[in-house]
Amino acid sequence: MTKEDVKQKIEQLSEQLRIHNYNYYVLSETTISDYDFDMLLKELQKLEEDFPEFAVETSPTQRVGGTITKNFKTVKHKYRMLSLGNSYSKEDIEDFETRIKKLVENELEYICELKYDGVAIGITYKNGKLVQAVTRGDGVQGDDVTANVKTIRSIPLQLKGNDYPDEFEIRGEIFFPKDVFEQLNKDREEIGEDLYANPRNTASGTLKMLNSGVVAQRKLDCYLYFVMGDNLPFETHFDSILKAGEWGVKIPREKQKYIKKCKTIDEIFEFINYWDKERNNLNFEIDGVVIKVNNYARQEEIGFTAKSPKWAIAYKFKAEKVSTQLLEITYQVGRTGAITPVANLQSVLLGGTTVKRASLHNADQIEKLDIRVNDTVFVEKGGEIIPKIVGVEIAQRDIFSVPTEYITTCPECETALVRKEGDAKHFCPNEWGCPPQIKGKMQHFISRKALNIDGLGEETIDLLFENNLAKNNADLYRLTYEQLFELESFKEKKSQNIIDGLIASKQIPFERVLYGIGIRYVGETVAKKLARQFKNIDNIINASFEELIAADEIGDKIAESIIHFFSIESNVELIERLKKYELQFELSEEQLANATTKLEGLVFVVSGVFSKFSRDELKSTIEQNGGKVSSSISKKTSYIVAGENMGPSKLAKAEKLEVNIINEDQFLELL
């Protein structure tokens, strides 16, 4: 292809991907399979790597993230990001209307919108391109989180059409979809991490992550609903939202009933009452409704207070809280041995569902609230996914009630519990003798991100365990077709699928096997780092604490967990058995063929655009040859591999610290 052909192909692929992305993330319509989308994206990435002069900042390839931010620049808002006054009753809304009608003579029209329970964001577009995204902060200034916001697929990097203003800001709310948040907590539970409390706080923390690649994996979403700018061509707030939708922005739409024009207080409360009941059916959290005067000229007449617009108000839903009786406290044992106390309740309706159980989190929470069996307790959902107990009705407590004594032995295997300093939870240390831990470890081992064994699931693992066919991960590889076929509800195809899945899993690469064996705190990313650094399982088993923490992204807590895991003889024996079944416990020959120690002890920073490597290929080559890649320049930096368009701030810092700067040809000579 000629260069002109390449340029046209890149533009064509970019437009195709933007259309499919808009259809899926904004309109919720699937117009292409995930596989086909990924193939188009891969083709575009390859072309941009080979011809970087045609890569643009609004390319769909920018969605994957990868930018590392040392700290977030504070930016002053062009237009102050004000807060809204809150109301909790019909009388409050009537008072709001009375106040503003004293300021304007014209008849008023209101817009009712959902009050999203997320993180406020202001996004600036210039000539249709996303150029900046800033958090609310204190309303006067916020943090520049542009790199992270660019990874959110429902936010356009390039607007559609050509009738948008040269420059404007659009504000809205970034949030975690409920199903995505639930999956995130499941993944954390798998590696023994504490669960996140609620979507709102987790979304806020995610936006402040230093690695935009991680943000991209979190699958945040966003609704934008407030256009701001100088001399905008709109008479009403509603018109501006509709137009933003035409530009490709994900807006609240009338057909979803997320937004409504209203003339009277009664119409406003029809909207409020509808969503007070229906909010539990949404895949995101809302905590109320926002009411705004629609006409911009009327807004101007009504004006502002020092903190908020007089022409808008938020109606807050009452916290979803009910009282019921605590019948019993039971204790669950997780895969890592973590003990979670659970309140078993008299059934009660909360948030549209019947609640019978609520998490009590840990011993400290029970002691703090002084929760006791037979207490009348207050249960709340609010922004939490899992119901929780938030208080006790002390006045109704039985005079013979006694404080709850937290268990001291495991409810499943009666082993004495331990609680290390700094841990919120108690743990059962009997890793390979406690049934829930054993089954949990096996379920983790066969999971999609680990060995991904076809035909095996949670119910099958339970069945195999109860029938004494598998008591650990290695036992799975002893299973025969005949043993499976004899189990209840097992037929020829199901039995053969499991056998085939076990055989296929022997080709799963080392890093996924390492993740699958279930070392606490060793998730997917850490497993990859360990595999690359140590090359095989024996090197990891024999590594000292100092050697482990010297590896990229391995801190004290992870290193201690790895050493503890391999200090248990049964864990090492299990690894030896899995080796005999031919699972991959070292990097493949192909991976090792490219590995040397030529760059051992050297720290590299990669900056700019390259012609012979992609940035990821360059980083991978450094790591394969024993070097370490850092995102920031310091006195420890050995070399900066600089391509075209290296950032001026990095260049200045490199010169100040007298760090060696080399190009990609010099890097190849170094190898």
We report the CATH number of the domain holding residue 609 as 3.40.50.10190
SS3 262: strand
DSSP type of residue 418: B
Whether residue 46 is predicted with pLDDT greater than 60 in this model: the reply is yes
456-490 exposure pattern, b = at least 16 Cβ within 10 A, e = fewer: beeebbebbbeeebbbbbbbbbebeeebbeeeeeb
* CA 434/CA 216 separation, integer angstroms: 37
Q: Of the given ranges (60-74, 253-267, 299-313), which has the lowest mean pLDDT?
A: 60-74
Among the listed residues 280, 249, 253, the one whose alpha carbon sits nearest the alpha carbon of residue 178? 280
Asked if residue 373 is part of any domain, the answer here is yes
Domain match, 493 and 543 both: no
* CA 579/CA 575 separation, integer angstroms: 6
Q: How many CB atoms lie within 10 A of CB 277?
A: 9
* CA 515/CA 59 separation, integer angstroms: 33
Whether residue 189 is predicted with pLDDT greater than 80 in this model: the reply is no
Among the listed residues 519, 451, 460, the one whose alpha carbon sits nearest the alpha carbon of residue 494? 460
Q: How many CB atoms lie within 10 A of CB 256?
A: 11
* CA 225/CA 217 separation, integer angstroms: 25
Domain match, 179 and 87 both: yes
Among the listed residues 261, 174, 259, the one whose alpha carbon sits nearest the alpha carbon of residue 223? 174
Greatest mean pLDDT among 40-44, 468-472, 549-553, 642-646 lies in 468-472
For residues 411-416, give the mean pLDDT.
95
Single out the residue in 543, 574, 592 at which a domain terminates.
592
Query: In degrees rounded to 5, what are phi and psi of residue 74?
Result: -85, 130
pLDDT over 90, % of the chain: 48
For residues 206-218, give the mean pLDDT.
86
Banded model confidence at residue 645, pLDDT cuts 50, 70, 90: low
Greatest mean pLDDT among 209-213, 345-349, 558-562 lies in 558-562
Among the listed residues 341, 345, 347, the one whose alpha carbon sits nearest the alpha carbon of residue 328? 345
Banded model confidence at residue 617, pLDDT cuts 50, 70, 90: confident
Among the listed residues 220, 195, 186, 223, the one whose alpha carbon sits nearest the alpha carbon of residue 206? 220
Asked if residue 404 is part of any domain, the answer here is no
- Report the amino acid identity of residue 543: A
- pLDDT value of position 65: 56
Angle at 497 between CA 496 and CA 499, to 5 degrees: 65
* CA 167/CA 131 separation, integer angstroms: 10
Banded model confidence at residue 588, pLDDT cuts 50, 70, 90: confident
Whether residue 626 is predicted with pLDDT greater than 80 in this model: the reply is no
Among the listed residues 131, 134, 120, the one whose alpha carbon sits nearest the alpha carbon of residue 62? 131
Average model confidence (pLDDT) across the chain: 88
The residue count of the chain comes to: 671
- pLDDT value of position 42: 80
Asked if residue 411 is part of any domain, the answer here is no
Q: Within its chain, how far is the Cα of 562 from the centroid?
A: 25
- pLDDT value of position 271: 97
For residues 554-576, give the mean pLDDT.
93
Number of domains forming the structure of the chain? 6
* CA 172/CA 122 separation, integer angstroms: 7
Report the 3 state secondary structure along 57-116.
CCCHHHHHCCCECCCCCEEECCCCCCCCEEECCHHHHHHHHHHHHCCCCCCCCEEEEEEE
Domain match, 184 and 300 both: yes
Asked if residue 406 is part of any domain, the answer here is no
Query: In degrees rounded to 5, what are phi and psi of residue 200?
Result: -65, -55
Please report the beta strands in 387-467, taking only residues with DSSP state E, as ranges in sequence order.
Answer: 388-392
Q: Of the given ranges (157-166, 263-272, 624-633), which has the lowest mean pLDDT?
A: 624-633
Provide the angle, in degrees to the nearest 10, between the axes of the packed helices 178-190 and 199-207. Answer: 80
Banded model confidence at residue 70, pLDDT cuts 50, 70, 90: low
Q: What CATH number corresponds to the domain at position 350?
A: 2.40.50.140
* CA 284/CA 598 separation, integer angstroms: 51
Domain match, 489 and 625 both: no
Enumerate the β-bridge partners of residue 13: none
Q: Of the given ranges (6-10, 377-381, 563-567, 632-636), which has the lowest mean pLDDT?
A: 632-636
Domain match, 88 and 138 both: yes
Greatest mean pLDDT among 60-69, 111-120, 301-310, 344-353 lies in 111-120
Can you state the percent helix, strand and coil of the chain, rounding each to 5? 40, 20, 40
Instruction: Judge contact between 518 and 441, C-beta under 8 A.
Output: yes
The catalytic residue positions are 115
Banded model confidence at residue 454, pLDDT cuts 50, 70, 90: confident
Domain match, 105 and 216 both: yes
Domain match, 125 and 141 both: yes
For residues 356-372, give the mean pLDDT.
91
pLDDT over 70, % of the chain: 94
- pLDDT value of position 167: 95
Q: List, in order, residues 6 or more apart from 470 with CB less than 8 Å away.
A: 442, 461, 464, 476, 478, 479
Enumerate the β-bridge partners of residue 286: 116
Banded model confidence at residue 551, pLDDT cuts 50, 70, 90: confident
| Kind plus residue range of the DSSP H or E element containing 538 | helix 537-542
Q: What CATH number corresponds to the domain at position 544?
A: 1.10.150.20
Instruction: Judge contact between 512 and 449, C-beta under 8 A.
Output: yes
Q: What's the farthest any 2 CA atoms get from each other in the chain?
A: 88
- 368 Ramachandran zone, left/alpha/beta (phi>0; psi -120 to 50): alpha
pTM of the predicted protein model: 0.57
Q: Which domain holds residue 646?
A: 595-670
- pLDDT value of position 34: 64
Instruction: Judge contact between 345 and 327, C-beta under 8 A.
Output: yes
Q: Within its chain, how far is the Cα of 544 from the centroid?
A: 32
Domain match, 444 and 530 both: no
- pLDDT value of position 193: 72
- pLDDT value of position 315: 94
Whether residue 68 is predicted with pLDDT greater than 60 in this model: the reply is no
Domain match, 188 and 308 both: yes
Tokens encoding 420: 């290390």
Asked if residue 282 is part of any domain, the answer here is yes
Asked if residue 427 is part of any domain, the answer here is no
- 630 Ramachandran zone, left/alpha/beta (phi>0; psi -120 to 50): beta
| Bigger pLDDT: 592 vs 39 | 39
Banded model confidence at residue 437, pLDDT cuts 50, 70, 90: very high
Domain match, 217 and 189 both: yes
C-alpha torsion 54→57→58→60, nearest 10: 80
Among the listed residues 388, 363, 365, the one whose alpha carbon sits nearest the alpha carbon of residue 378? 388
pLDDT in tens, 220-248: 999 999 999 988 899 999 999 999 999 99
Query: In degrees rounded to 5, what are phi and psi of residue 443?
Result: -65, -40
| Bigger pLDDT: 320 vs 571 | 571
Whether residue 66 is predicted with pLDDT greater than 60 in this model: the reply is no
- pLDDT value of position 384: 53
Domain match, 28 and 89 both: no
Q: What CATH number corresponds to the domain at position 28?
A: 1.10.287.610
Asked if residue 86 is part of any domain, the answer here is yes
- pLDDT value of position 649: 61
- Report the amino acid identity of residue 153: R
Domain match, 80 and 217 both: yes
Query: Could you tell me the end-to-end alpha-carbon distance of the chain, in angstroms, rounded to an integer?
Result: 32
Single out the residue in 507, 541, 559 at which a domain terminates.
507
Single out the residue in 396, 426, 447 at which a domain terminates.
396
